[in-house]
Amino acid sequence: MAKKTKIKKVSKVKKVGILDNCCDKESQSMGLMMGLVLSGIHLGWLILVLTNGAKPLMDWVLGLHMIEISYTINPFSFGNAFMLLVLTFVIGYAGGWLLSELIKISRGEK
């Protein structure tokens, strides 16, 4: 007869502190999603600026709000466009990650 082996259950160690679980997949997913959404919106704006469609859109939106102001939209700059996309992605990622962590804390998961 084969000898039966007992398998010990390994208890999970509860992580303490917000930074101990900084690589949690849920928080990363939320950060990536928020970063992509925020930078995606700004990518759309950059395409409008590049194709000279931003001014008519802004005029229409301001008209809907019964606002008339004098403004100019600067010429497209690839350097500024790149910085805008990177900055909005980083801010969106950080905001999404923080939101996910706060939700977990409020649910008592941390």
Task: Show me where the domains of the chain are located.
Answer: 24-107
pLDDT score at 25: 84
pLDDT at position 108 is: 84
Q: Say how far apart CA 108 and CA 54 lie, in whole Å.
A: 45
Phi, psi of 6 (to 5 degrees): -85, 135
Q: What angle do CA 108, 109, 110 make, to 5 degrees?
A: 90
Whether the pLDDT of residue 54 is over 70: the answer is yes
pLDDT digits (tens, 9 = 90+) for 69-110: 999 999 999 999 999 999 999 999 999 999 999 998 898 877
Pick from 54, 52, 44: nearest CA to 84 = 44
> Helical H runs in 1-110?
25-50, 54-64, 78-107
**CA distance linking residue 51 with residue 43, whole number of Å:** 12
Split at pLDDT 50, 70, 90, the class of 37 is: very high
| Residue 101 CB neighbours (<10 A) | 21
pLDDT at 109: 79
What average pLDDT does this structure show over 37-61?
A: 97
The answer to whether residue 16 scores a pLDDT higher than 60 is no
